[in-house]
């Protein structure tokens, strides 16, 4: 077997080793013997160097006209499109999502590049009349400065692109710290930044632990914004750390997403949506369907069909086109899922499918776990309340729409939700009353489109919405209001005129 490639940090336009000279191994979760590459195990000094480079570069980059900044991003989209297959395959190898889904992850970055390249010629502000004569008023978007981007492993190219690309078009400089389980996909993104000629220091990339590199980014006074996606536990710590230096913190965190299936739903459609929502990416999506709340009248029929469909999913090497379910990302995640399955059993829920680790030889070298469906789940059970982040879905019974909505909203999280019904009144009531940032009608809880605001409420988010939508620009810019008085005399605003 060839020696695994060694990847470096990217600081001030150079590929450099970490000062500690430690290394992190990026291993395939489908075959833990396979090392995809080694990455720098950086420390605070490396983060400091990247932040200093970004701060220097920001002074020049913010003055590059936005349409020119956008041209770099368009070229990034072109390169990504050309290399989509190569990057998708490497992504599947490093974090285990089926190849078809990995292509979608790269496609998302392409879409973000193209969409935000157009934004370079918009970045609209506002003009408004002044209350005084011979005075003009307008507001413009101003970049924030150095942005720390901290990302998870489950969408290893899409999520970094959601942060990096809007940050750049808005005129910020960045330090990107990817999750250690999937640093290669964001390495590709950064490499392309270099290829298209984004000036040195504007984009920096530092791999390493959350505590050392992430912790330094959140603490450093010159970093003016942290854009974080990850668990609610870590997001809370990030938010606290940001408060110390008055940074803006944009947080996208965990979920416990519910799908409601009403008695008038098209059950075939609902089952399709449930299987896709619960088991795509082996349930490791922040928007994964982890609770299905089914009207009592159709409960048995729905569960029978769901079990049959989920039982037919193909599990195995995620590089094979026909595979539906790859491995979990690492051993800790596998253990967490197995622990929750045990908790579910102890709580009295019934695992009607799966629930036992796959042990056949073909699974032995990876972290495979089968689709698992619990019935007899009640809202107070831990498996119905806590984020499991694996191929485990809980089915709960409801008496009607009000009951279903109450169960769906009885959670600390609020990312995505969905309802299957043929009744327009029920659909609109649910769209209004589900306490989530995203709601689907007659579609699964997963599958957001990048030009629409993405994010959640309660412990899922802190009020920001990312992706490539206009709301992403709100994260990466400050509003600056400009008054121009061309009267040639002192004019006082109405508040000062008594």
- Which string of x and - marks every residue 373-402 that binds ligand NAD (by CB under 6 A)? --------------x-x-------------
Residue 199 beta carbon to ligand NAD: minimum distance, rounded to whole angstroms: 26
- Which string of x and - marks every residue 400-419 that binds ligand NAD (by CB under 6 A)? ---------------x----
Question: 218 or 418, CB closer to ligand NAD?
Answer: 218
Looking at 61-69, 106-114, 212-220, 358-366, which segment touches ligand NAD (CB under 6 A)?
212-220
What is the number of alpha carbons within 13 Å of residue 314 lying toward its C-beta?
10
Question: 58 or 153, CB closer to ligand NAD?
Answer: 153
Question: Contact, 326 vs 96, CB < 8 A?
Answer: yes
> Does residue 90 have an active-site annotation?
no
Tokens 């632990």 found at? 209
- Which string of x and - marks every residue 174-203 that binds ligand NAD (by CB under 6 A)? ---x-x------------------------
- The rounded distance, in Å, linking the Cα atoms of 92 and 101 is 9
CA distances from 58 to 55, 64, 102, 158, 223 (A): 5, 10, 32, 24, 11
The bridge status of strand 416-420 relative to strand 438-441 is parallel
Within residues 240-269, the interface with ligand NAD by CB under 6 A covers 252-255
Question: Contact, 392 vs 356, CB < 8 A?
Answer: no
- Retrieve residue 147's tokens: 């942005």
- The rounded distance, in Å, linking the Cα atoms of 214 and 216 is 5
Question: 230 or 370, CB closer to ligand NAD?
Answer: 230
Residue 329 beta carbon to ligand NAD: minimum distance, rounded to whole angstroms: 8
Indicate which single residue of 234, 271, 299, 394 sits in contact with ligand NAD (rule: CB under 6 A). Answer: 234
Indicate which single residue of 42, 92, 154, 186 sits in contact with ligand NAD (rule: CB under 6 A). Answer: 154
Question: 216 or 426, CB closer to ligand NAD?
Answer: 216
> Does residue 252 have an active-site annotation?
yes
Q: Which residue among the candidates 252, 387, 394, 466 is catalytic per the annotation?
A: 252
Q: Kindly state whether residue 152 participates in binding ligand NAD, applying the rule CB under 6 A.
A: yes
- Retrieve residue 139's tokens: 């507001």
The residue count of the chain comes to: 498
- The rounded distance, in Å, linking the Cα atoms of 250 and 308 is 41
Residue 78 beta carbon to ligand NAD: minimum distance, rounded to whole angstroms: 26
Looking at 49-57, 117-125, 148-156, 300-308, which segment touches ligand NAD (CB under 6 A)?
148-156
Q: Which residue among the candidates 147, 170, 242, 286 is catalytic per the annotation?
A: 286
Indicate which single residue of 52, 223, 238, 472 sits in contact with ligand NAD (rule: CB under 6 A). Answer: 238
Question: 254 or 316, CB closer to ligand NAD?
Answer: 254
Question: 180 or 421, CB closer to ligand NAD?
Answer: 180
Question: Contact, 374 vs 393, CB < 8 A?
Answer: yes
Within residues 80-109, the interface with ligand NAD by CB under 6 A covers none
Indicate which single residue of 98, 156, 166, 210 sits in contact with ligand NAD (rule: CB under 6 A). Answer: 210
Residue 182 beta carbon to ligand NAD: minimum distance, rounded to whole angstroms: 8
Residue 236 beta carbon to ligand NAD: minimum distance, rounded to whole angstroms: 10
Residue 427 beta carbon to ligand NAD: minimum distance, rounded to whole angstroms: 24
Within residues 443-472, the interface with ligand NAD by CB under 6 A covers 456, 460
Indicate which single residue of 156, 160, 171, 215 sits in contact with ligand NAD (rule: CB under 6 A). Answer: 215
- Residues marked active site are found at 252, 286
Q: Give the residues lining the site for ligand NAD (CB under 6 A).
A: 150-155, 177, 179, 210-211, 214-215, 218, 229-231, 234, 237-238, 252-255, 286, 387, 389, 415, 456, 460
């Amino acid at each position: 077997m060839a020696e695994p490639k060694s990847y470096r940090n990217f600081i001030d336009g150079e590929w450099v080793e970490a000062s500690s000279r430690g290394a992190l191994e990026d291993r395939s979760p489908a075959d833990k013997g396979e090392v995809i590459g080694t990455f720098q195990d950086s420390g605070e000094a490396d983060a400091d160097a990247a932040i200093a480079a970004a701060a220097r570069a920001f002074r020049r980059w913010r003055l590059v006209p936005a349409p020119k900044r956008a041209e770099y991003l368009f070229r990034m989209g072109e390169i990504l499109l050309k290399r989509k297959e190569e990057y998708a395959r490497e992504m599947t190898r490093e974090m285990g999502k089926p190849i078809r889904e990995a292509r979608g992850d790269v496609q998302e970055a392409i879409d973000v590049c193209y969409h935000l390249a157009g934004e370079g010629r918009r970045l609209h502000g506002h003009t408004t009349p002044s209350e005084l004569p011979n005075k003009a008023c307008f507001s413009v978007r101003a970049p924030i400065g150095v942005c720390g981007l901290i990302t998870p492993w489950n969408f290893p190219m899409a999520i970094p692109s959601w942060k990096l690309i809007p940050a750049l078009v808005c005129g910020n400089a960045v330090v990107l710290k990817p999750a250690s389980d999937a640093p290669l996909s964001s390495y590709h993104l950064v490499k392309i930044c270099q290829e298209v000629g984004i000036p040195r220091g504007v984009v920096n990339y530092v791999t390493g632990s959350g505590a050392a590199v992430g912790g330094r980014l959140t603490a450093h006074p010159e970093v003016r914004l942290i854009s974080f996606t990850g668990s609610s536990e870590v997001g809370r710590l990030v938010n606290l750390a940001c408060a110390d230096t008055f940074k803006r913190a944009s947080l996208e965190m965990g979920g416990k997403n519910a799908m409601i299936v009403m008695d008038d739903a098209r059950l075939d459609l609902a089952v399709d949506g449930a299987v896709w929502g619960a088991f795509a990416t082996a349930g490791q999506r922040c928007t994964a369907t982890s609770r299905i709340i089914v009207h009592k009248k159709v409960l048995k029929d729905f569960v029978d069909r769901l079990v049959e469909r989920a039982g037919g999913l193909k599990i195995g090497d995620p590089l094979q086109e026909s595979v539906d379910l790859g491995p979990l990302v690492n051993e800790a995640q596998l253990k967490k899922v197995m622990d929750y399955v045990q908790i579910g059993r102890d709580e009295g829920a019934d695992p009607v499918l799966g629930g036992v680790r796959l042990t056949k030889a073909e699974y032995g070298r990876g972290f495979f776990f089968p689709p698992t469906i619990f019935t007899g789940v009640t809202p107070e059970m831990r498996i119905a309340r806590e984020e499991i982040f694996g191929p485990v879905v809980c089915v709960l019974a409801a008496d009607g729409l009000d009951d279903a909505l109450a169960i769906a909203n009885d959670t600390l999280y609020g990312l995505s939700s969905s309802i299957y019904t043929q009744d327009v009144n029920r659909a609109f009531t649910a769209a209004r009353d589900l306490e989530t940032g995203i709601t689907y009608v007659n579609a699964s809880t997963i599958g957001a489109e990048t030009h629409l605001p993405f994010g959640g409420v309660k412990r899922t988010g802190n009020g920001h919405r990312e992706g490539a939508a206009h709301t992403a620009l709100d994260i990466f810019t400050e509003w600056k209001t400009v008054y121009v008085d061309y009267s040639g005399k002192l004019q006082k605003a109405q508040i000062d005129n008594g």
